[in-house]
Amino acid sequence: MKRGQGPTIRRRRLASELRRLREAADLTIDEVGEKLECSASKVSRIETGHVGVTPRDARDMLELYGLTGDEREALVQLAREARKPGWWHAYKEVFTGTFVGLEADASSLRAFQALIVPGLLQTEPYAREVIRAMRPDSEESEVERRVAARVARQQLLSDPTPPDYWAVIDEAVLHRMVGGPEVMGQQAKRLLEVGQSPHVTIQVVPFGAGAHPGMEGPFLILGFPEQADQDVVYVDSTSGGFFLELPPDVRRYSLMFDHLRAAALKPDDSLALIAEAAERY
């Protein structure tokens, strides 16, 4: 599947188009709910992409908005395609929301982490230790399920058409002992290996850089191949994270990332620092 053609991005694209058509028809969300005999909150959730829309609901909404013929049928077909399960459906008890679907559709990923190695770059032992530490009340079976899901996510970087992945990490990530010297040594070697890939860039913000914008917390900027699909920012948190889609928010985080890249060591120097960490462990 080509970048930007997965079910999650299709649902997001359809939601945006339904919102645009409703506004063009000069109808409020409440009016649509009343005419289609459904709740206004359902219409709102559809338009924000928080829930999928059935082909029947899509057809009813489009008829109400005055769209007919091939244009209507194309959007109804988009609704059908948006309901197809992605590979992550097998891990639905682990992955919540639309994050992993958007990640799978992205053509570019810009990540910052201050405390741990980004998920797409973690080794299996490192991921296991991180998940155990962050979920101390979890059964071992749940930990292993989450580790398997994280490893499955990482196949994205070895895809025939992988996204451009740019990760900036704080130097603290290389010093925080996760799982002992052996685990850390393997993790450092993994960063070195992946960092050689032409579509992957890794930079380290050294301690000497002092205060920096990333101190606010980890985040990920997702970019998509189609111009109509605007960038999204995912801000990580212990409760599961949240998305920012408004242009001013996306611009703010893009600027933060630019400042982080400028404060970080050059990619070659960053890999040299990671190599030192591998030797140390």
Over residues 229-251, the mean pLDDT reads: 83
d(Cα 76, Cα 79) in Å, to the nearest integer? 5
Alpha-carbon dihedral sign for residues 231, 200, 123, 208: negative
Best-predicted range by mean pLDDT among 81-85, 90-94, 150-154?
150-154
Over residues 13-40, the mean pLDDT reads: 89
pLDDT digits (tens, 9 = 90+) for 145-166: 999 999 999 999 999 999 999 9
Domains of the chain: 7-84 (1.10.260.40), 93-280 (3.30.870)
Over residues 274-279, the mean pLDDT reads: 95
pLDDT of residue 203: 98
Mean pLDDT of the chain: 89
pLDDT of residue 97: 53
Write the CA distances from 238 to 106, 131, 134, integer angstroms: 23, 11, 8
Over residues 190-207, the mean pLDDT reads: 96
pLDDT of residue 52: 78
Give yes or no for residue 239 having a pLDDT over 80.
no
pLDDT of residue 124: 97
What own/partner pairs with CB < 8 Å and gap ≥ 24 does 78-84 have? 78/10, 78/13, 78/14, 79/14, 79/52, 79/53, 79/54, 79/55, 80/55, 81/7, 81/10, 82/7, 82/8, 82/10, 82/11, 82/14, 82/52, 82/53, 83/7, 83/52, 83/54, 83/55, 84/7
Over residues 50-64, the mean pLDDT reads: 87
